[in-house]
Structures are given as C-alpha cells and as structure tokens.
Amino acid sequence: MSKIAVVIPEANFRDEELFVPLEVWKKAGIETTLFSTTVGEVVGDLGGKATPQALLGTLDVDKFDAIAVIGGSGTITHLWENAELRGLLLAFEARKKLVTSICAGSVTLARAGLLSGKAATTYPVELMINELKAHGALYSADHAIRVGNIVTGDGPDGAGAYANMVVAALQHPEVVSAGN
C-alpha cells in the first residue's frame, strides 16, 4: 500500500484541494497522513475542517512514497517560505520519491528549485503564474501535469485530475511525463 504525506498550512487550506484528493486516494487504497505546523484543528478557506495527525518536523521521508502540498490562501502565508518544508521536498526528490502539489502548493515546489525547466501548473492567477516562471518553471494551464516524479495540479477545478494523476504516478513510476 502506498503512503502519502499530505501537507496543509496551519490555516486556510483550500477545501476541495484537500478533500477531493483524500477521497480519491482512499478509494485507491492509498494511506495518507496529514501534516502541518500545528496539530490543532485547521479551518479551510471555505470552512471545512481538518486535524493534522503530526507536526511537519516529525515527517520521516523514508516512511512515505510521496508528499503532497495542498494549496489555499494559507499556503502562501505559511508554506511558501517554510524552510522545513523546503528541506523535506528536497529530501523526497533526492530519494526519487513522488513530489506533488496543487494550486499555491506548486509555488512551494518552485521555490525549492524542483520545477526549474519543467512544465508545471498552478491556480491560473498572475501572482502564482509569475512565481512559477520566476523560479524557472514552464507554466501550463493543464489541470494536472506529470514530469518524472513530480505532479502539479492547478486548483479546485482540477483537484480530481490531480488526485488521479498522483494515483497513476504511484502505480506507474516508470512513466516519464503526461499532461491532462
């Protein structure tokens, strides 16, 4: 059974970007653990609630097959500059594990240097597109994009496509790239 470390901000994750993938991954038999910088209840942008199971600092890369950074307005504030998360993303990449993000989470990957020269997507607003491009990513308006061991999703409308592409990437790690 595959395991995904799901990272949400300590406030204001985007509800659909968390709950849709969690449901898809559960149906696919994938185990998820929710991480954040707090273990208290977190409220999403639309009022949904989630309770992280562990602190980000306790995430053991060797116990997971993938990491997923969820977007939302809180991701901009709490995760874009989080050095601990950046180190974890680089550790997953160094071990050739699956590194994924959706919406504002994609900027976190870009700022870690993981998207330079690669096609990637994010929520289609100027702030996030410009952040991807400023860090060398090749922006695409697709709902979900896979390049090697990296999957990015665009946002709420593409949450299902993103979640399914993560499932496919875990089931078929040998596939180099695909867009949706």
Task: State whether residue 154 is helix, strand or coil.
Answer: coil
Structure-block tokens of residue 180: 């949706």
Task: State whether residue 176 is helix, strand or coil.
Answer: coil
Closest CA to 25 of 42, 1, 51: 1
Q: Is 103 a catalytic residue?
A: yes
Please, are residues 75 and 37 in contact by the beta-carbon 8 Å criterion?
no
105 vs 150: CA distance, rounded Å: 12
Catalytic residue (one of 89, 103, 165, 166): 103
Closest CA to 5 of 105, 81, 131, 130: 105
Structure-block tokens of residue 68: 């997923």
Please, are residues 104 and 75 in contact by the beta-carbon 8 Å criterion?
yes
CA atoms within 13 A on the CB side of 106: 38
| Amino acid making up residue 13 | F
DSSP class of 139: E
Give the active site residues.
Answer: 103
